[in-house]
A and B are shown apart, each in its own frame.
Chain A
Amino acid sequence: MTRNSKRPASSPTRARTADPSHDRWEKETLPKSLEKMPERRKSFVTTSGHVVERLARPDADAEPPERIGYPGEFPYTRGIYPTMYRSRLWTMRQFAGFGTAEETNARFKYLLDHGQTGLSTAFDLPTLMGYDSDHDYSRGEVGREGVAVCSLADMEVLFDQIPLDRVSVSMTINSPAAPIFAMFLGVAEKQGVAFSKLNGTLQNDILKEYIAQKEYVFPPAPSMRLVVDSIDYCMREVPRWNTISISGYHIREAGSTAIQELAFTLADGLAYAQAAVERGIDIDAFAPRLSFFFNAHNDLFEEVAKYRAARRIWARKMRDEFGAKNPASWLLRTHAQTAGCSLTAQQPEVNIVRTTLQALAAVLGGTQSLHTNSMDEALALPTEKSVRIALRTQQVLAHESGVANVVDPLGGSWYVEQLTDQMEQGALDYFRRIDELGGVIPAIEAGFFQREIAEAAYRYQKEIETRDRIIVGVNDFELEEPPIEILKIDPALEKKQLERLSALKARRDAGVVSRELGRLREAATGTANVFPHLLACARAYATLGEMMDVFREVYGEYTEEATF
């Protein structure tokens, strides 16, 4: 099947002769997909009135090489669905959270009212580190960078009047992912929503924390155990839930290159798959619920190539190395977020343009959902207005630009295919180096990823300073200008949260809390899945800090060597 793509360009009007692979795709793959996901319109037309063909492809004398193939077919280079956005647009999912659960619940409702189609929860730093709002370390940080959630009581307020059987919810939480998810399940119970109906994603990606974002609490081994416990539990009880969102986003934000982001993220994904298989779980029982999360940065075509290469590598690894038989296990489904680290504090409105280009890259790359950053995020959390513009950016791409009317429009571009091959090769080279170090966890412990990323970040900064890289408004086209309006977090919110927490502690049944925490300790010490016990703790209104303290006692805490 593989052919040399170097052939004379042919006239687009030339009649096609037989194209068996395309005929097969149209007969075998397409109808099944159209039945499940019909296209949004009977026909799509350009502004000039030409009908937009679903899929542009090589001329009649050439079949696509195996590595490019067809959308919705192995190795999925051209996308995981045969019709992509012609059937269903990507999910527009803005990450939001600040203050207490009330403020964030109001922001969630605001976003849903403005056409957002899924929710994504940002927790504050104490929550991300597993401390209650009243912990010493939490002072000054409660509700600052996300919402403070200490117990099921906060979670109930956070999702008040948000029907969890209809709105999919993503939660960015890692070290404390298990207790936070238990609280979320507690809310579903209160809403009377069966766990089997819940749709959403837990980030739950601890490996990238050691590598890049550094919000780890426990050492790698017990952390991996908690991740596998959640895979095991969800597989049985919450079957539609995405158990891990394997994230390159933070790796990129910490300064990595696109190839490093691709390689390290997929290496993490393979490490999770390996850990679950080692627990004795069948690959096809959990792989379909693994999802990914990539960055969308400035270099448009390289970004597109990254998404395309990611799908191809993952499909091959799952099918050929892990022996997955269910095609759903081969699919790399991904969320994307535009690059926060590319935003400038200078001339912030220009960030709208950057974000638009990055969002375009993610869409051309075939993402399943997308967050677009707001223009003011180099300065603070975004205001309602700037979030609205960011959401509107996605809506313009979806409804006005025409990019959603065709599948993988860049497929077959010599440049993009070449970049895709280069990204793939670069990732495979890194896999080899990681293997030589003994795998992902030993490589973390050796500081390998951290050094690679710090090196790339420093190089990038130097390029800006020597003006080998121009950043508009930063090292060229500079301008003095008045500051823009930014969001302020009312310091009184911290006090409100502390009062709420202390009232909770006074009214709950302390005997039940202590009994359930005791059972959790037993489970954590042994090998039984901790989830049923976390759920019991959550129902008893044990706090996040209390549950995490149990784990801290049993597992200890991790620190990394401070190097630069």
Chain B
Amino acid sequence: MTEQPHKIRVVVAKPGLDGHDRGAKVIARALRDSGMEVIYTGLRQTPKQIVHTVIQEDADCLCVSILSGAHNHLFPEIMKLLRENEVSDVLVLGGGIIPPEDVPGLKQIGVSEIFGPGTATFDTVRYIREHVQPRA
């Protein structure tokens, strides 16, 4: 008998005031179809609510979809709250409309990768599989 492999748990979060949830929903479904456990937060979540969900759900990965242009405000908030709550083993990814020149700054604060428009969902799936921290 081999042990059941741990299902990767992903929180797909949608902060910001906009309602553009097409991308978040497509990625949530693609991750679920690839065998991951997906929790979708729904719209207009504050960084505090998002980090709370990550902790509650014991997530391995957090995918944040931002199309409102507020990424340089929202990501630092989320990363700060994760640190304050001593969450260091969660893979944080971003998607949406994020200009390329903002990417290095986001990576510097701990966002692992940004997936812009046109990314194939299987690329995101593969990235998550390769980068989540193995469970003890």
Which residue numbers of A lie inside 8 Å of B, CB to CB? Answer: 125-126, 128-129, 131, 137-141, 144-145, 209, 213-215, 253-255, 341, 343-346, 378-381, 454, 457-458, 461, 464-465, 471, 473-475, 483, 486, 488-489, 491, 559-564
- Among candidates B29, B72, B122, residue contacting A465 with C-beta atoms closer than 8 Å: B122
Q: A140-B74, A474-B118, A489-B69 are in contact. Are A255 and B22 (CB under 8 A)?
A: yes
A125 touches B18 (CB 8 A): yes
Q: A125-B16, A140-B70, A465-B120 given. 6 additional CB < 8 A pairs?
A: A125-B17, A128-B17, A145-B18, A461-B26, A489-B69, A564-B25
Which residue numbers of B lie inside 8 Å of A, CB to CB? Answer: 12, 16-22, 24-26, 28-30, 32, 38, 40-44, 46, 68-70, 72-74, 97, 99-101, 116-118, 120-122
- Among candidates A138, A213, A344, A379, residue contacting B97 with C-beta atoms closer than 8 Å: A379
A144 touches B69 (CB 8 A): yes
Closest to B116 in A: A345
Q: A141-B17, A379-B97 are in contact. Are A346 and B118 (CB under 8 A)?
A: yes
* Chain A hits for B116, CB < 8 A: 345
Closest chain-A Cβ to B52's Cβ sits at a distance in Å of 15
Closest chain-A Cβ to B1's Cβ sits at a distance in Å of 34
- What CA separation (Å) do A5 and B24 show in the bound complex? 47
Which are the 4 A-B pairs with shortest beta-carbon distances? A214-B19, A140-B73, A562-B42, A144-B69
- What CA separation (Å) do A465 and B68 show in the bound complex? 26
Pairs across A and B, CB under 8 Å, 7 listed: A141-B73, A254-B20, A454-B22, A473-B118, A483-B101, A562-B43, A564-B24
- Among candidates A144, A474, A560, residue contacting B70 with C-beta atoms closer than 8 Å: A144
- Among candidates A345, A489, A564, residue contacting B117 with C-beta atoms closer than 8 Å: A345
Looking at A341, A345, A491, the one whose CB has the most chain B CB atoms below 10 A away is A345
Main SS at interface, chain A = loop
* Chain A hits for B44, CB < 8 A: 137
Q: A215-B18, A345-B117, A458-B26 are in contact. Are A145 and B41 (CB under 8 A)?
A: no
Closest to A474 in B: B118
* Chain A hits for B72, CB < 8 A: 140, 491
* Chain B hits for A126, CB < 8 A: 17
- What CA separation (Å) do A530 and B78 show in the bound complex? 40
- What CA separation (Å) do A138 and B68 show in the bound complex? 11
Looking at B19, B26, B73, B100, the one whose CB has the most chain A CB atoms below 10 A away is B19
- What CA separation (Å) do A141 and B69 show in the bound complex? 7
A344 touches B118 (CB 8 A): yes
A139 touches B73 (CB 8 A): yes
- What CA separation (Å) do A458 and B28 show in the bound complex? 10
* Chain A hits for B68, CB < 8 A: 125, 141, 144-145
- What CA separation (Å) do A345 and B74 show in the bound complex? 22
B40 touches A458 (CB 8 A): no
- What CA separation (Å) do A464 and B121 show in the bound complex? 10
Looking at B32, B38, B46, B68, the one whose CB has the most chain A CB atoms below 10 A away is B68
* Chain B hits for A131, CB < 8 A: 17
A214 touches B30 (CB 8 A): no
Q: A125-B18, A378-B97, A564-B24 are in contact. Are A145 and B121 (CB under 8 A)?
A: no
* Chain B hits for A344, CB < 8 A: 117-118
- Among candidates B17, B25, B26, residue contacting A129 with C-beta atoms closer than 8 Å: B17
* Chain B hits for A380, CB < 8 A: 69, 97, 99
Closest to B41 in A: A562
* Chain B hits for A564, CB < 8 A: 12, 24-25, 28-29, 32, 38, 40
A214 touches B21 (CB 8 A): yes
A562 touches B22 (CB 8 A): no
- What CA separation (Å) do A562 and B117 show in the bound complex? 23
- What CA separation (Å) do A561 and B25 show in the bound complex? 13
* Chain A hits for B99, CB < 8 A: 379-380, 486, 488
Closest to B24 in A: A564
A378 touches B26 (CB 8 A): no
Closest to B38 in A: A564
Closest chain-B Cβ to A135's Cβ sits at a distance in Å of 10
* Chain B hits for A562, CB < 8 A: 40-43
Closest chain-A Cβ to B96's Cβ sits at a distance in Å of 11
- Among candidates B16, B40, B42, B118, residue contacting A345 with C-beta atoms closer than 8 Å: B118
- What CA separation (Å) do A126 and B70 show in the bound complex? 12
* Chain B hits for A214, CB < 8 A: 19-21, 43
Q: A457-B26, A461-B30, A564-B25 are in contact. Are A378 and B18 (CB under 8 A)?
A: no
Closest chain-A Cβ to B43's Cβ sits at a distance in Å of 6
* Chain B hits for A488, CB < 8 A: 99
- What CA separation (Å) do A483 and B29 show in the bound complex? 30
Closest chain-B Cβ to A204's Cβ sits at a distance in Å of 17
* Chain A hits for B74, CB < 8 A: 140
* Chain B hits for A474, CB < 8 A: 118
A254 touches B40 (CB 8 A): no
Closest chain-B Cβ to A358's Cβ sits at a distance in Å of 17
Q: A145-B69, A344-B118, A483-B101 are in contact. Are A137 and B42 (CB under 8 A)?
A: no
- Among candidates B29, B43, B46, residue contacting A458 with C-beta atoms closer than 8 Å: B29
- What CA separation (Å) do A379 and B74 show in the bound complex? 18
* Chain B hits for A491, CB < 8 A: 72
* Chain A hits for B19, CB < 8 A: 209, 213-215
Closest chain-B Cβ to A377's Cβ sits at a distance in Å of 9
Closest to B73 in A: A140
- What CA separation (Å) do A253 and B19 show in the bound complex? 11
- What CA separation (Å) do A209 and B20 show in the bound complex? 11
B17 touches A137 (CB 8 A): yes
